[in-house]
Amino acid sequence: MERQFPSSIGYFPPSKGSSSRSMRSARLLRVARSEARRALSSSSGLAEENAALRMTVAALQRERETLLSAAKSSGVQTPIVSLNEKSKFVGAQGEFSPELKFWYPDIDSTPPVLPCFRLIDDVGLPVQGSDAAMPPLEQEVALACMRTMLRVNEFEKIFHDAQRQGRIPFFLTSRGEEACAVGSIAALRPTDWVLPQYREMGAFFWRGFSFQEVANQLCANEKDPAHGRQLPLHMGSKERHILYVKSTLGTQCPHAAGVAYSMKTAGSDQVAITYFGEGCASEGDVSSALNIAAVHGCPTIFFCRNNGYAISTNTRDQYVSDGVAPRGLAFGMPTIRVDGNDLLAVMAATKRAREIATTEGRPCLIEAMTYRIGAHSTSDDDSKYRTAEAPEAGWDNERAYWEARSPIIRFGRWMQALGWWDVAAEEAVRKQARKEAIASLNAAQETARPKAFTLFTDVYDELPWTLAAQHDSLKAHLKSYPKAYDNLAASADL
C-alpha cells in the first residue's frame, strides 16, 4: 500500500474514501511520474514535458477537490493526511510539516530530527494544513518568481555551454536550487543586505542585475565594475545591496553578523542575509558567525543551502548530525528546516525570519534542503561521485528523482492550478531568456578587456609609491617588448 500510494496522495483516507477514486488518483500519479522520467531523458523538450506533467497533476488536483467536496457533503471527516511522510533529501531525512515553526532553543524541546517545513508537495499540490502558513502571494509576485527562476535556468545553460566551448574560464549553475535564492530574496526588502556564497544567481536577477551586466562580469571585460579581477560569478553591487562574491568559503558569515549589527546600531531596520552550503558550514567561520550573531543579537538570517554535495563530498562525510540546523539551536537562535525546492515554503520561512530578526533582535538559521542537479562547477565531473541509486524505487537514479522535484516544476504546477501559468507562458519566458543570454554573451565577448592600469588601482584608496613604481616599471617593460603582450595591453594603456 505504501509503495502503491506514494506520499503525494497521502491526503486521502485510503479506506474511508472511495477506493476506486483513490486508485484513480494513484493511476494519475503514476502517469505523472512516468511523464517526469520521460522529461528527464530529453532535456531539449524539458519545458514541454514539464508542462505535460503539470497538466496531469492538475487533473490529479481536480480529482482531489472532487473527493474533498464529496467527503464533506457525506459528513466524512476529511482529509486524513499522512504527515508521517519522510523527506529523502541527501542532507537530512525527517518528517515533513506544514507548520511554519521556528524552533526556539530557549523555549522548545526540540526533536532529535527536525521536521522539514513544506507547503506544497512533490507534485506541486498544497499539503494539508498549509493554509495557515501559505504566504499571501500576489499573482504578479508569483509570476516574477517563476520568471526569475526560469531566467536563471536558461542563462546558466547558455553560459555553462560557453565555458565548455572555452569562451569563459569557469562557471557553475544553481540548477535544482533556484527556489532557495529566489524564494528567500523575494521575501526580503530591496535594501536588506545580501552576502552570497556563489550559487545564488536568482538573488542577483531578482535585485535587478541584467543579463548583460552578469555577462560582462563572466567575460571579465572592461564593463565589469570590478575590472575583470575575479573569477566568473564573483559579482556584487552596492546599489543593490549585494556584497561581492568571493571564492573563500563561509568567510562572509561573520561579515553578515557585522553588517546586521551595524544596521541595527545605526537605527535602520535593514537585515542581512547570508547564504552558504552545508559543506561550507564545516568552516570555522560559520560557527564563529552563528555564535557572535546570537551573542550580540544581530538581525542576520543565516541561509544554509543543504544540497547534498560539497564538490564530491556527500553529506555523510561532512557531518553525522541531523543536518546543519542543530547548530543554529546550539548557538541559541530560532531555527527552521525547510524544503528548499518549495519556493512558497522558502518564502514563508524567510519572511518569518525577517520578522524575528527585526522584532526580536536576534539571528535565525534556515536550513533549506535541496539537491544540486549540476556538477559543483565546470571543473569537476559529477558522474564520478554522485550516488547512483534513487532514494525511492521507480527512478533511474538519484539525480533523476530530484530533477523531477525541481522547484521550477513544483512551483509551476502550483501556479498552474491557480490558472496563473501554462506551458505557453513558460516556453515564452525560456525562449526569450535564451535569446537574451546568447545576445549578452556575444556582446560581452566583443567588449574590450579591462584597461591595464586597473591592475594597480583599488588596492588602497590612493596609489602608494610602491605601486606607482611598479606601474611605471610595467609601462617601460611594455614599451621594450611591444608585441609580447599585445593581446592584453599596450604601454599606452598604462
Partner 1 sequence: MLRPQARRAIGRVSLSRRLSSQVPATAKMTMFAAINDAMRVALATDPRAVVFGEDVAFGGVFRCTMGLLEEFGKERVLNMPINEQGLVGFGIGMAAVGGTAIAEVQFADYIFPAMDQICNEAAKFRYRSGGEFDVGGLTIRAPANAVGHGGHYHSQSPEAYFAHTPGLKVVYPRDAITAKGLLLACIRDRNPCIFFEPKVLYRSSVQEVPTGDFMLPLGKAEVLTEGSDITLVAWGAQVHVMLKAAARAAEEGISVECIDLATILPWDMHTIRDSVRKTGRLVVTHEAPLTAGFGAEICATIQTHCFDSLEAPIARVCGADTPFPLALEKLYLPDELKVYDAIKQAVSY
Please state the closest distance from residue 143 (CB atom) to partner 1, in A. Answer: 31
Three-state secondary structure call for residue 112 = coil
- How does 17-51 read in b/e, with b if 16+ C-beta sit within 10 Å? beeebbeebbebbebbbebbbebbeeeeebbebbb
Minimal distance, residue 63 CB to partner 1, in Å: 52
Rounded Cα distance, 239 and 243, in Å: 10
Q: Which is nearer to partner 1, 14 or 225 (CB)?
A: 225
The candidate with the shortest Cα–Cα distance to 64, out of 37, 34, 29, 95, is: 29
Kindly state the smallest distance separating residue 470's Cβ from partner 1, in Å: 10
* Nearest distance, CB of residue 347 and partner 1, angstroms: 25
Spatial distance between the Cα atoms of 437 and 212, rounded to a whole number of angstroms: 8
In whole angstroms, how close is the CB of 212 to partner 1 at the nearest point?
17
Give the shortest CB-184-to-partner 1 separation in angstroms: 19
With respect to partner 1, which residue has the nearer C-beta, 234 or 305? 234
Non-local CB neighbours of 464 within 8 Å, separated by 6+ positions: none
C-alpha cell at 106: 530557549
Residue 127, φ and ψ in degrees, nearest 5: -80, 155
Residue 272 vs 304, nearer CB to partner 1: 272
CB of 190 to partner 1, least distance (A): 15
Identity of the residue, 42 or 265, whose beta carbon is nearer to partner 1 in the bound complex: 265
Q: How far is the CB of 75 from partner 1 (least distance, A)?
A: 59
Smallest distance from the beta carbon of 205 to partner 1, in angstroms?
19
How far apart CA 43 and CA 191 sit, in angstroms, is 37
Residue nearer to partner 1 on the CB measure, 69 or 247: 247
Question: If residue 399 lies in a helix (H) or strand (E), which one and from where to where?
Answer: helix 398-403
Q: How far is the CB of 248 from partner 1 (least distance, A)?
A: 5
Q: Which stretches within 282-378 are classed as H helix?
A: 284-295, 325-330, 343-355
Please report, to the nearest 10 degrees, the dihedral formed by the alpha carbons of residues 435, 440, 442, 443 taken in order.
140
DSSP, collapsed to helix, strand or coil, labels residue 182 as: helix
Residues lying near partner 1 in the complex (CB under 8 A): 193, 195, 224-227, 229-230, 234, 236-238, 243-244, 246, 248, 251, 253-263, 265-266, 272, 284-285, 288-289, 291-292, 295-296, 454, 457-461, 464-466
Bridge partners (DSSP) of residue 275 are 303
Nearer to partner 1, 150 or 214 (CB): 214
Nearest of 273, 344, 378 to residue 121 by alpha carbon? 344
Dist CA 224 CA 145 (whole Å) = 26
Collect all residues with Cβ–Cβ distance below 8 Å to 129 and sequence separation of at least 6: 81, 83, 98, 99
Q: Measured from the CB atom, is 265 or 379 closer to partner 1?
A: 265
The answer to whether 179 and 407 are in contact (CB under 8 A) is yes
Name which of 190 and 284 has its Cβ closer to partner 1: 284
Nearer to partner 1, 50 or 216 (CB): 216
Q: Which is nearer to partner 1, 459 or 484 (CB)?
A: 459
192 DSSP assignment: S
